[in-house]
Amino acid sequence: MIPLAFLMPGQRGRIVTLDVGRGKARRLMEMGLLPGEFVEVLSNSVGPVVIRVRGMMLAIGRNVASRIWVEVT
Amino acid sequence: MGGGDLVAREILVAIAGSPNVGKSTLFNRITGGDVHVANWPGVTLTRTEGYIEHHNVKIRLVDLPGTYSFSAQDIGELIAREFLVREKPDVLVVVVDATSLEKSLYLAIMAMELYERVILAVNMIDAASKRGLRIDFQGLKSRLGVPVVPISALKGIGVGVLLDRILEVAEGKTVRRESLKIDYDGLEPYIYEIARHLRIKGALKDYPSRWAAIRLLEGDDKIFEELNKVDHDLADYVRSVRERAEVELGEDPEKIAISSRYMFIDELVKSYVARVRLATPGLSERLDKVMLHPIFGPIAATFVILATFFLIFVVNTGFPLNMILEHLGYGELAGLVEEYSLSGVLGLMFDWFSTIVEGWMNSLGYNGWLTSLITEGLIGSLGTLISFVPLLLMAYIFLGAMQDSGLFPRAAVAYDNLFRRFGLSGRAFFPAALGMGCSVAAVVSTRGIDDDRERMVTAMTSPLIPCQARLLVLLTIASAAFANPLHQSILTISIYVLSFILYLLTSKLLNKYLFKVEHAPDLLMELPPYHRPSLRVIWWYARSNTEHFLRRAGLLILGLGIATWYLLNFGPSGFLSDGNIAGSYAAMLGRLLVPITGLIGLPDWRYALAFEVGFVAKEGLLITFSSIAGVPDPIEALRSIGITPVKAISLALAMNYYVPCLATVAALFTELRIGKYVIITILMELGLALITASLVYRSALFLGFM
């Protein structure tokens, strides 16, 4: 299990837990970032991590992306 | 409900939808752009309303804030939910995106759980069929129990059918008896338990009891507080049920609830959406290779923005095309470009109008202060107000195009890394970019930032970026004091660079000392697919926002404009019919201000007076220099009052920062809504002007330049 922010562009993972505050977790889950959901990292360099989840592109700040734990698939 | 009534009925229809599903496009399509833009009470969130008539029924349409859910987590979500619960619209239209139903249906599902009179408008069906998606609308309709209407808001497909359905639902023809029920799995027994108690006690009657029970289990603070107020014991009991559920299920009820909704959506998509062929990776992916690149991304974003601004500048003021032409030896053509730029044409129109009125009033025998009040005070201020229109419109067209094309969020991503160091997110780039056009637009555009603190900080600091009016003054000062074009350019560019640095630094300081926040807000932003911006949508957006600003700030600008006219045209001896500005109250005030302008090496009442006039609009500085010196060309005027290179640098810095212009102050008032912050902004700018300009002056003295 590694943070989402550690995935390379092109890598896919499955969300395990969201290690963020309550309000933030709700927001992430309502945008489709639920534990069990598959995500694909599209771009990950210095700024926000850009992923694809539920067919939608999402930019997530590096801080938050470091607290989303995924299993690489 | 009499179908044959001769009196036209009026119904209330609300439109909801997540960001990027085309909700505003649909709203614009239905109303034909004839809308009223205002604010939701107490907040700086735009509220758009419009009226139309369909089959003799008057329809009042309200555009709800674009949100991803109805959880009342932020102000937009709360407003949308409160509107449904309190105003009980006759129909709620929820717009979803046909190309990403698995995502955009979330809000629709929440809406259907909360409300019965719902219509699902499935937008962008043309794009969906292009991508090889086939949607079974009949199936969706029977599963959800609400009318489902395929539409393309952009092309106007299906809008007539949607209006027919709206009337049917409003008349109660195709309404479900109760709201949608989703299987919440393990949560069901607890939902049942809480809902039963709510019904017995008659609490939270505004909401469906099952819905309220689910929200309470999910930990919705807003609903819990509402319950706590009317029935404290029941609230305690609900809390205990929630805690019990969490222990017994071994999972957060909130997570179960959100998962259940998404599972329901997955089931819907699986049953009713077929992918008949695979979409080919298009331009979008290739563009994103550049836009999301760590180095090329910011460069590309900067390039797009600068190119757009070059165009806007040329159309608006002729600059820099006029200077390029002049440099190449096409002086006449340069003059034409300037004269037929938008601000040139508007200026000519107002001069012409004011001359006509003056002649007409003189012929009626009025030639005293009243004529001056009307021709100079009133028409002049009106001219100032109107001269903002092209600036604002273009800034909004730029912003609208950036948003509509999908470039906006990508540029925010590209700049995020840089801006984080100053406690801002990448979104703060836009107020700064727009600020190069017009500070008013920059301040107003901050409402696109959803973090409250970031919104306030950027509204307070973005006026530091030189706008087009200040660019004009800056160029005139540079040309008056420096003969060498290279030196002129160095001065101009340095001021821009310094302004961007100050924008970032002051943002950091305000974050730290005024708002006491150290961390930049985290970005969480959808990047919608690129698409060609629709002129219709952009024009509508730009027009309605410009009107909104003129309505809100117009009176303030006119009032202060006339006050300035009074100070300039009246003195202790009454009305100054000879136009002798030196005897005016404004000049007296200017003499009082000399000790302050002396700090920056300009101990001359004429500069002080120019600063006073410049508050109304920064071009006012040039007009004042011209009228004091009695020379129409402001460059000559500045030379005749003895400008030197050191004075020019000092004047340029002071002019840029000493105070945001009148219209910007008006915008700050309407956006910040807290007088203290507006005053802090003004004092901060004044402080920056004094510090930067006196530093230049003192170092020049020290180095022996003077």
ipTM entry: 0.94
pLDDT at B651: 94
Distance spanning both ends of chain B, measured CA to CA: 86
pLDDT at B579: 67
In the three-class reduction of DSSP (H, G, I as helix; E, B as strand; rest coil), residue B690 is classed as helix
Confidence check: pLDDT of B7 > 70: no
Residues 6+ apart with CB under 8 A from B355: none
Count of CB atoms within 10 A of residue B501's CB? 12
pLDDT at A12: 94
pLDDT at B297: 82
Q: What is the 3-state secondary structure (H, E, C) of B430-459?
A: HHHHHHCCCHHHHHHHHHHCCCHHHHHHHH
State yes or no: cis peptide before B320, omega within 30 of 0.
Answer: yes
Q: Are B454 and B521 in contact (CB under 8 A)?
A: yes
Rama region for B218: left / alpha / beta (φ>0; ψ in -120 to 50; rest): alpha
Structure-model confidence comparison of residues B500 and B342, the more confident one: B500
Superfamily of domain B10-170: P-loop containing nucleotide triphosphate hydrolases (3.40.50.300)
pLDDT at B373: 84
Rama region for B431: left / alpha / beta (φ>0; ψ in -120 to 50; rest): alpha
Confidence check: pLDDT of B637 > 50: yes
How far, in Å, CA of B35 to CA of B61, rounded?
9
Top-confidence range, A45-59, B289-303, B445-459, B492-506: B492-506
Tokens representing B228 are 């706590």
B185-270 CATH fold: Helix Hairpins (1.10.287)
**CA distance to partner chain A, nearest, from residue B190 (Å):** 20
User: Do the Cβ atoms of A50 and B292 come within 8 Å?
Assistant: yes
Q: Exposed (0-12), middle (13-18) or buried (19+): which is B120, by Cβ within 10 Å?
A: buried
CA-wise closest residue to B295 among B306, B303, B307, B283: B303
Residues of B with CB under 8 A from a CB of A: 68-69, 71, 73, 100, 102-103, 106, 219, 254-255, 258-259, 262, 288, 292-294, 409, 412-414, 416-417, 425-426, 519, 521-529
Confidence check: pLDDT of B706 > 70: no
DSSP state string for B515-579: S---SPPPPEEEEPPP-PPPHHHHHHHHHHHHHHHHHHHHHHHHHHHHHHHHHHHEETTEE-TT-
Confidence check: pLDDT of B504 > 90: yes
Q: Which residues pair with B58 in a beta bridge?
A: B10, B53
pLDDT in tens, B133-147: 999 999 999 999 999
Long-range interactions of B334-342: CB distance < 8 A, separation 24+: B341/B314, B341/B315, B341/B316, B341/B317, B342/B315, B342/B316, B342/B317, B342/B390
Residue spans per domain, chain B: 10-170, 185-270
**CA distance to partner chain B, nearest, from residue A17 (Å):** 11
Structure-model confidence comparison of residues B109 and B357, the more confident one: B109
Confidence check: pLDDT of B334 > 80: no
- Dihedral of the CA atoms B223, B225, B227, B230 (nearest 10)? -140
Question: Is residue A17 within a helix (H) or strand (E), and if so which, with residue range?
Answer: strand A12-18
Mean pLDDT of B520-544: 85
In the three-class reduction of DSSP (H, G, I as helix; E, B as strand; rest coil), residue A49 is classed as strand
* Chain B residues touching residue A48 (CB < 8 angstroms): 413, 416, 426, 523, 525
pLDDT at B8: 65
Mean pLDDT of B396-403: 82
Characterize the bridge pairing of strands B57-63 and B10-17: parallel
pLDDT in tens, B545-575: 888 778 877 887 788 778 888 888 888 888 8
* Chain B residues touching residue A56 (CB < 8 angstroms): 100, 103, 526
Q: Which residues pair with B54 in a beta bridge?
A: B57
CA-wise closest residue to B556 among B439, B669, B389, B438: B669
Rama region for B158: left / alpha / beta (φ>0; ψ in -120 to 50; rest): left
Q: Exposed (0-12), middle (13-18) or buried (19+): which is A63, by Cβ within 10 Å?
A: middle
pLDDT at B281: 57
User: Do the Cβ atoms of B255 and A34 come within 8 Å?
Assistant: yes
pLDDT at B279: 58
Q: How far is CA B258 from CA A33, B17, B145, B247, B271, in A?
A: 10, 18, 21, 18, 20
* Chain B residues touching residue A68 (CB < 8 angstroms): none
Q: For the packed helices B342-363 and B296-317, what is the interaxial angle rounded to 10 degrees? A: 30
Is pTM beyond 0.80? Reply is yes
Angle at B228 between CA B222 and CA B230, to 5 degrees: 110
Q: Which residue of A has its CA nearest to B297?
A: A47
Confidence check: pLDDT of B2 > 50: no
Q: Are B68 and B18 in contact (CB under 8 A)?
A: yes
- Dihedral of the CA atoms B498, B500, B501, B505 (nearest 10)? 130
- Dihedral of the CA atoms B684, B686, B687, B692 (nearest 10)? 120
Band the pLDDT of B175: cuts 50, 70, 90.
low
DSSP state string for B378-434: IHHHHHHHHHHHHHHHHHHHHHHHHHHHTHHHHHHHHHHHHHHTTT--GGGHHHHHH
**CA distance to partner chain B, nearest, from residue A69 (Å):** 16
pLDDT in tens, B28-77: 899 887 788 777 776 667 888 999 999 989 999 999 999 999 987 888 89
Q: Exposed (0-12), middle (13-18) or buried (19+): which is B7, by Cβ within 10 Å?
A: exposed
Band the pLDDT of B3: cuts 50, 70, 90.
very low
pLDDT above 70 coverage of chain A, percent:
100
Rg of chain B, C-alpha, whole Å: 30
* Chain A residues touching residue B284 (CB < 8 angstroms): none
pLDDT at B1: 44
Confidence check: pLDDT of B244 > 90: yes
pLDDT at B228: 93
Q: For the packed helices B209-218 and B221-230, what is the interaxial angle rounded to 10 degrees? A: 110
Confidence check: pLDDT of B343 > 90: no
For chain A, which domains are there? 2-72 (2.30.30.90)
Q: For the packed helices B535-569 and B605-614, what is the interaxial angle rounded to 10 degrees? A: 140
Q: Are B116 and B129 in contact (CB under 8 A)?
A: no
The residue among B100, B410, B424, B525 with the most chain A CBs within 10 A of its CB, best to mutate, is B525
Band the pLDDT of B472: cuts 50, 70, 90.
confident
pLDDT in tens, B179-233: 788 999 899 999 999 999 999 998 888 888 999 999 999 999 899 999 999 999 9
User: Do the Cβ atoms of A26 and B528 come within 8 Å?
Assistant: no
Characterize the bridge pairing of strands B574-575 and B118-123: unpaired
**CA distance to partner chain B, nearest, from residue A33 (Å):** 10
Rama region for B194: left / alpha / beta (φ>0; ψ in -120 to 50; rest): alpha
Band the pLDDT of B317: cuts 50, 70, 90.
low
User: Do the Cβ atoms of B292 and A42 come within 8 Å?
Assistant: yes
How far, in Å, CA of B421 to CA of B426, rounded?
11
Tell me the pLDDT of chain B averaged across its residues: 87
* Chain A residues touching residue B425 (CB < 8 angstroms): 61
How far, in Å, CA of B363 to CA of B357, rounded?
10
